[in-house]
Chains A and B, each alone.
Chain A
């Protein structure tokens, strides 16, 4: 399972990098979403995977060794929340930019350089 998820992480990074290098701003944003999901998976995998066990203890849990590491899950949750906010902001920014300039082409973004 870990190998599969690692491969998926790599695939998502590759797709994200490819999309980021495209000229369209919208594709760039989708690339960022890909990469942020890949990063979340990476953090999630960092503690290894424990199959079928929750990350918190109740009275029935006797052995803490069996438990999944709760910290990466908490980190991923935080990262997802932050990613959610950021993606919404970038989409709003792109929308506003498209309305003022009616372009989606990154090569047109030359006004503030040099």
Chain B
């Protein structure tokens, strides 16, 4: 499809979709949301983009291949285990860090967030891989 309106809209909706995905990711620990939903939302934006542009153009925008999104997501998941193992507590126990960031206030960052980021990247990568595999015409 080659529609100017859709392509223009996609450019602006990109910001909306991605920020929505990120919000869902960050608030996920105590509220509805989380890595899986965030990842799906992010993938949704790329599905939308793929309607406006060609698959080749999107692949260029993504910088790395979808497999590597999956890989880096799994790395995040594995890294989120490290603090619990190093401090000698049971595997996968959540470890939290309180940070006083100017403007935002006291923010608690913890391994569950890192885990969620890993899920986010993995789900996004998996969905993109599905999309590219099924939409590529040979």
Contacts and interface: CB of A to CB of B under 8 A. Distances in A.
* A contacts B directly (C-beta below 8 A): yes
B130 A88 contact: yes
B36 A56 contact: no
The A contact surface, by secondary structure, is: helix
B134 A95 contact: yes
B126 A56 contact: no
Contacts, number: 11
A66 interface: no
Interface residues of A, number: 9
A96 to B, nearest CB: 10
Contact of B30 (A58, A77, A92, A95): A58
Interface in B18-60: 30, 36
Interface in A55-85: 56, 58, 77, 81, 85
Contacts of B3: none
B98 interface: no
A91 interface: yes
A92 B134 contact: yes
Interface of A: 56, 58, 77, 81, 85, 88, 91-92, 95
